[in-house]
Amino acid sequence: MNKNYLRLSLVLVVAISMIVSCKKYDPDKIASTAWNPNLAVPLAHGHFTVYDILAKTDSNDVVIIDPATGAIALVYRGEIVSFEAADLVDMIDYSTTVSLGDGDYGIGVSAAYSGTANGNQSNVVNPSLNSGVELYTSQFKSGNLSIGLSTDLQHDVDVTISIPDLLEGGVTPFSRTITMTYSGSVPQTGSELVDLSGAIMDFTNGGGSFNEFDIQTDVTISGTGQPVTGTESVDVQFDFTALEFEKCTGYFGQQSIAVDNDSILLKIFDNDPDGYFELVDPRVRFTVTNEMGFPAEISLSNLETIDASTGTAFVLGGYPSTLDVAAPTAMGDYTTTVLQLDQTNTTNITTVITPTPKWFYFEGSGTSNPNGNVGTNFLIDTSVLRIDAEVEMPMEGFAYGFTVSDTIEFSFSEEVEYIESLMFRINVDNGFPVELLGQAAVLDSNKNVLFTLWDAPENIIASAPVDGNGRVTESFQKITDIYLDQDQINQIGNAAYLVIGGDAQSLSGPSGEIVKLFEDYVIDLRVGMQVQGKFNL
């Protein structure tokens, strides 16, 4: 079987595809058989469903939209944006320094200090976040806190660092004591690296605030008998790096949600066919899945179809331009918001699809918290806001004037001088409401026409009849016999190619009669040959 199917421009040109998709003529069927004075040989058989015709490359393109009747639609999909939590809250690396001097621990000047002194500071830290974000809490997925100490005191120094709002493991308030023991030289240094994975930080500084927390630094100085000039200090450097949140709460502002300009390929029109095509009820559907704990507003613009052959754009009009997206009520939940554009809320969706476009194009934008700060937002690190678009084309409408053709290899290497007559029979049992007026030509190796099979285009496939609702009531059988005259028989030995073409339309397509496609439609095609010989071999 030749697998090079014609790429259907429309279901209405199925007839040509059926002929080309079947097993091609095989002369060995004759060569391996002793000839009788009259020999009939089956050459090809094909049985095709709506899936074979409409969704050869992806069966998911065909969707049953009414299980009760089997009514089908072609659905083409595309994801136009996936907005991730990390795009919204960016926990930027930040640093802060605490410096304690004599004013904090009060030793003064001493030629040989041997006592003990204590001092402390409480400092508010404001982390670096992207603009507009008010952070209340965060559970860290990863991150580091690097603490570095330095002092020019010639004494033993203990530094205790407490961050009451940072809970290690989500339970224990953070506290570290780092000791610098004087060994005869300054500056003295100390350090500690803390893994913040799993830690929880409260950024409200006890409540009522945001984007801040308190660091408490306590210093104990134990004299070693060395002098104190009164100008020394104890310096503590805090570096928060590689911070990533697992969960967080706050108000994340009115941030822009980038909606990529994109398009969906309408595969059924992939060959840029000529002709007229009209669907009764095409639909465009935008589905927003929101896992982020805030509402959003999505704005749509420049919705249009594009005729790839001419570049002409057909602009959709009258559609609602905004889509309000609700927030989930709890972490781990999501909301689904759907905007369907159809004949009820657009002015011209049918005529926009009618020009057999190749692409459906759209643009958009979005804003988080469109009504401002009206409640606490939340995120988890895997949260996404995803917008999916799909074009649904119920197979209900009419079409006409579609012309396609295909060239296939064809050879007949038998000794034609022994053939008195040659007849090909095409037997089509058609369960689709489509019809085909076809023509075929036999070409030589230089693609010169040797002869055509009919003097005028032949009705190879006749449409099945339909009821008042456009549904096929029964299949229709059409038998077409092709007789070659003696001159054509003599030339067929030089055949190298067969060009098959035709004009297709739905049943009474030019009159606008509506037909429908259902899952149970099939078309059965058989091709045979009858040879009359001069004598037996």
pLDDT in tens, 85-123: 888 888 889 999 999 999 999 999 999 999 999 999 999
pLDDT above 80 (res 259): no
CATH of residue 192's domain is: 2.60.120
Provide the 3-class DSSP secondary structure of residue 523.
strand
User: What pLDDT does 140 receive?
Assistant: 97
Last-in-domain residue among 219, 251, 283: 251
Query: Does residue 5 form part of some domain?
Result: no
- Domain count for the chain: 3
Q: Which residues of 117-155 are buried (b: 16+ CB within 10 A; e: fewer)?
A: bebebeeebebebeeebbbbbbbbbebbbebbbbbebbb
Is 480 in the same domain as 375? no
Same domain, 307 and 425: no
Q: Considering the domain boundaries, does residue 291 fall inside one? A: yes
Residue 111 and residue 243 in one domain: yes
Has residue 168 been placed in a domain? yes
Together in a domain, 202 and 308: no
How much is the average pLDDT of 346-352?
A: 92
Decide if 512 is inside a domain.
yes
348 domain residue, yes or no: yes
pLDDT one-digit tens code per residue, 398-433: 988 888 777 888 887 667 777 888 888 889 999 999
In a domain, 2, yes or no: no
- The whole-angstrom separation of Cα 337 and Cα 330 is 17
- Which are the contacts of 208, defined by CB distance < 8 A and separation ≥ 6? none
**Residues 51 and 126 both lie in one domain:** no
Q: Whose CA is closest to 121, among 145, 95, 97?
A: 97
Reply yes or no on whether the pLDDT at 9 is more than 50: no
What integer pLDDT is reported at residue 493 of this predicted model?
87
On whether both 277 and 352 belong to a single domain, the answer is yes
Which three-class secondary structure state does DSSP give residue 509? helix
Check: CB of residue 401 under 8 Å from CB of residue 275.
yes
CA distance 105 to 71: 85
Could you list the residue range(s) of the whole structural domain that residue 169 is in? 89-251
Report pLDDT digits (tens) over 181-210: 999 999 999 999 999 999 999 999 988 899
Same domain as 304, residue 189: no
pLDDT (tens digit per residue) in 441-482: 999 999 999 999 888 888 989 999 999 999 999 999 999 999
Least-confidence region, from 234-238, 337-341, 395-399, 525-529? 525-529
223 and 160 belong to one structural domain: yes
Q: 209, 227, 251 — which closes off a domain?
A: 251
Are residues 121 and 198 both part of a single domain?
yes
Look at residue 3 and tell me if it is in a domain: no
Domain-ending residue, one of 209, 228, 251: 251
Q: Are residues 416 and 307 in the same domain?
A: no
Confidence of residue 227 (pLDDT cuts 50, 70, 90): very high
What lies within 8 Å, CB to CB, of 287 at 6+ separation is 336, 337, 338, 387, 388, 389, 390
Among left, alpha and beta (phi > 0; psi -120 to 50; other), residue 348 is: alpha
How would residue 25 be classed by pLDDT, with cut points 50, 70 and 90? very low
Q: Are residues 416 and 365 in the same domain?
A: no
Higher pLDDT residue, 493 or 463?
463
pTM, full prediction: 0.76
Answer yes or no: do 232 and 111 share one domain: yes
